[in-house]
A and B are shown apart, each in its own frame.
Chain A
Amino acid sequence: MNTLTFPLRNLRNHSIRSILTAAGIGAALASLLALVGFSRGVDRAVILTMEDRGTDIVAVKKGSVEVLTTDLDEGLAGRIRSVPGVLNVMSSIGDLVEMESGEMAYMAGWSEEGGFWSTLKFTAGKRPDPGDMGSVVLGEALAEALGKKPGDRIVISGEAFRVAGITKQASVIDDRSVMMPLQVLQRLLGREGKVSGFHIRVDHPENSSRLAEVRNRLSAAIPEVAFIESGEVAHYALMTRLLHAMAWASSTIALVMAFVIVLNTLLMAVTERTREIGLLAAIGWKPSRVIAMIVLEGVLIAAAGAVLGVCAGLLGLKLMMMHPQIGGFLQPEVTPVLVLQSVALVLAVGAVGSLYPAWRATRMRPMELLRGE
């Protein structure tokens, strides 16, 4: 018999209650992993998109809360280009669309200028020739989901296009995108002459002070536009901010629930075992040892919950990714560090949740407990 035997035996003697408690904690951990994982996945996708395209600074309408639907005049590109330090500017417009098969896709319209088209890595076919307004490029995941290959016809917003090429990009957003010339998408969306934003490359992006300097110049030259460094875009976008807030709010609620579950279970356990705790005091167990035993029970049950939670969270994410509306469009970012952080958080919840029951156990008077039988 060692320090672990007694708490383990206590949990095993109430196996159903222990399993249910661990399941509750596991559900909390699984939600935390899924929500935070998705939230981080969106951040990662945005960053990868910027990296893929070599974007250093993004220009969007000032005060707009949603980057995707911001509306800027296409003619601003010339003013941006004239600012010293700006290497080139790509105008882009974008929106989400539901394909005929029900798949969600991101439509991206790119200007010829800016070099975006040349950043694409084709697995099949090629980019539409300049001036070809009847062809599009599909991200690989979307092409697979739609079963399309170069040369096939595809209907977008009621209009037929030819698939010119399939591209494989690092970002899940690009992988799930339909890319087409800027003017085509402007027409499809009824936003002629308008763009969602500008992607700007600067002359020395590796130099952070130079980057900040160019951005400041841009802000001064065109005050009605917000210029955001590419690494900060994810934090600027309303969707990602909302997702972050929801992820943390839901995770906090889940953890509070886990705390209450541990508290309730161990309070019940302590109440049921008053005589036993009295006995331990009678045979010379120090209060600190009694506290350690109960806290250990809390930590053990949280550890069991953590194992369940990690398995359920990862399995749940896998199942969610199989859903056509989610799979491929959102890629959760569940790193080993996030798993370890979540497990540590849940173990801490187990320990903290057991402190009050443990303290209560040591406040009981052993004589009364022993006489109580």
Chain B
Amino acid sequence: MTDSTEDDRVNASRQAESIPSPESGSGALIRFDRVSRTYPRGQVRAIREVSLQIELEEYVAVTGPSGSGKSTLLYLACGLDRADAGTVWLDGTAPKSTAEWTRLRSTRIGFVFQTFQLIAGLTAAENVELPMLGVATSEKKRRKRAAALLERVGLSDRAKHRIAELSGGEAQRVAIARALANSPSVIFADEPTGNLDSHTAREILSLLEDVRKNEKAALVIVTHDDLIAERASRVIHLWDGQVVGEELRREPA
């Protein structure tokens, strides 16, 4: 307990040194400035005064045991959850309203989930088109873009297939194509390989890394798998709602 408190103090001090002031507009893609989130039910402090930043096109892995606050961190970063204290910055702005976050999610953020979160009643191509409804001007453009994205993830021959007709790996590829639909600045992947066998998991990870490079987007992967985390250029370790360490690594080949 004493060690943990000491670690917290050291980390907080380190974070305070490395993070610029909120008004500086540091140029980071995402910045957390002393962000806290407590859930009223059970008074669970999911995130405690976290400060961090993620740069443009950076490849970051967020690791930690279950309940360490990884997913909460991700949901706060995209405005699906709101901080009790502190500020979340995205692209130099600190969105205040739900409408602002909604707009940013549709244009700047792509999501990949562990359980794919695809809509079973739609085809692969239609799932990819979903984020573009209301963003891309015409149906023809949406269809063309979806076809191009499915080709990029190697699924052009599965475009008209329902989700139930796809394997887990194929479904996750569709989810990656969907995440790229509106050319996001950052792709958040929440345990993207958690439901896949090891071979498919490696393929999906490689695909995510490829699209990050090609799309020039940042990639933030939430994982508890060290083998996945070590492929990122930076690893952020969470413990009990706090950043307890960061590691810089070599950019994957």
Contacts and interface: CB of A to CB of B under 8 A. Distances in A.
Interface string B94-110: 00001100111111010
Given A6-B122, A367-B81, A373-B115, A284 B131 contact: yes
Given A6-B122, A367-B81, A285 B106 contact: yes
Contact of B113 (A287, A289, A370): A370
Interface residues of B, number: 35
A283 B122 contact: no
A118 interface: no
B212 to A, nearest CB: 18
Interface string B109-124: 1010101010111100
Given A283-B106, A289-B133, A289-B134, A370 B126 contact: no
Given A289-B133, A370-B113, A284 B71 contact: no
B143 interface: yes
Interface stretch (A25-33, A219-227, A272-280, A300-308): A272-280
Interface in A304-360: none
B40 to A, nearest CB: 12
B131 A276 contact: no
Interface residues of A, number: 27
Interface of A is mostly: helix
B139 A2 contact: yes
Contacts of B106: 283-286
Interface in A1-34: 1-3, 5-6, 9-10, 12-13
Contact of B130 (A10, A13, A280): A280
A275 B117 contact: yes
B80 A284 contact: no
A283 B111 contact: yes
B142 interface: yes
Interface in B170-185: 178, 182
Given A281-B80, A367-B80, A1 B139 contact: yes
Contacts of B131: 283-285
A10 B120 CA distance: 10
Contacts of A1: 122, 125-126, 129-130, 133, 139, 142-143
B119 A276 contact: yes
A371 interface: yes
A200 B115 CA distance: 83
Nearest to B122: A9
Nearest to B123: A1
Contacts of A65: none
Nearest to B139: A2
Nearest to B109: A284
Which one of A12, A276, A282, A366 has the highest number of Cβ atoms from chain B below 10 Å of its Cβ?
Answer: A282
Interface string B126-142: 10011101110001001
B100 to A, nearest CB: 11
B157 to A, nearest CB: 19
Nearest to B129: A1
Given A284-B104, A284-B135, A285-B131, 7 more contacts: A1-B122, A6-B130, A9-B122, A284-B131, A286-B106, A287-B98, A289-B133
23 contacts: A1-B122, A1-B126, A1-B133, A1-B143, A6-B122, A6-B126, A6-B130, A6-B133, A9-B122, A10-B121, A12-B121, A13-B121, A280-B130, A282-B78, A284-B102, A284-B103, A284-B182, A286-B134, A287-B98, A287-B102, A367-B81, A370-B80, A373-B117
Minimum-distance CB pairs A-B, first 7: A284-B106, A284-B105, A13-B121, A283-B131, A367-B80, A1-B129, A1-B126
